[in-house]
Amino acid sequence: MTKQQLAGIDWDADSGQVARQLIGVTLLVDGVGGRIVETEAYDQGDAASHSFNGPNQRNIAMFGPPAHAYVYLSHGIHWCLNLVCREAGHGAGVLIRALAPEHGVDRMMVRRGTQDVRKLCSGPGKLAQALGVTRALNSAALDAPPFTLLAAPQAVEVVSGPRIGISKAVDVPWRFGLAESPYWSRPFR
């Protein structure tokens, strides 16, 4: 199996490793985005994952090829963006929870209805709204428009902790963040 190197990441690795590698990567959608500062790993065999019970109409993108998007609606209101990893059929992915607003900040402010930079992308629902992510991007390839991924700097300091907003498998430390970023959805302990 050839390893894909988009943004310098081994997309065939397990979701925990990919979630860690994604910290510091620049993610743009139609030119709007910035440095990823917070991610969470999910995998089949993980009771908190949408892929836990196997493929279905909603999560099918998670079982497709890696380096593609999986977008779902949360609580009927918020779109959330995941990046699929591992070989097709594994049902693994990484939830993008927050990024540092660096490109297209004006467009983010219009979409989010606030000029507070810390509130533009500090949470998965906010981030999707700021970048214009909806169901239309579900299953889309990450190496083609409107997506742009740029490799992280050589050295990034990464912190980790338990995941947020789930009721199962809460003790698994599969949440990762860029150390001391002001743009986290919630602090790490």
Partner DNA sequence: CTTAGGATCGCCT
Partner DNA sequence: GGCGATCCTAAGC
Cα 16 to chain centroid distance, Å, stands at 12
CB 108, CB 33: distance < 8 Å: no
- Under rule CB under 7 A, residue 33 binds DNA: no
Rounded Cα distance between 73 and 82, Å, is 11
Considering the rule CB under 7 A, would residue 82 count as an interface residue with DNA?
Answer: yes
Cβ distance to DNA smaller for residue 154 or 167: 167
Residues 95-124 that bind DNA (CB under 7 A): 95, 112, 119, 123-124
Instruction: Please give the Cα distance from 148 to 164 (Å, whole number).
Output: 27
Member of 1, 77, 144, 155 binding DNA (CB under 7 A): 77
Taking CB under 7 A as the rule, which mask of x and - marks residues 34-53 in contact with DNA?
Answer: ------x-x-----xxxx-x
Part of the chain binding DNA (CB under 7 A), chosen from 22-30, 57-65, 153-161, 175-183: 57-65
The answer to whether residue 132 forms part of the interface with DNA (CB under 7 A) is no
Q: What's CA 63's distance to the chain center, in Å?
A: 16
Phi, psi of 33 (to 5 degrees): 160, -145
Q: Are 98 and 27 in contact (CB under 8 A)?
A: no
Residue 52 or 146: the one with the smaller Cβ distance to DNA is 52
Q: How far is the CB of 96 from DNA (least distance, A)?
A: 8
Out of 8, 31, 45, 58, point to the residue binding DNA (CB under 7 A). 58
In the list 74, 89, 134, 173, the residue contacting DNA (rule: CB under 7 A) is 74
**Closest of 189, 23, 34 to residue 121, by C-alpha:** 34
Q: How many residues belong to the site for DNA (CB under 7 A)?
A: 36
* Helices and strands, counts by H and E, the chain: 3, 8
H/E element holding 73? strand 69-74
Task: Give me the residues that bind DNA (CB under 7 A), please.
Answer: 40, 42, 48-51, 53, 56-59, 62, 70, 73-78, 80, 82, 93, 95, 112, 119, 123-127, 163-167, 185
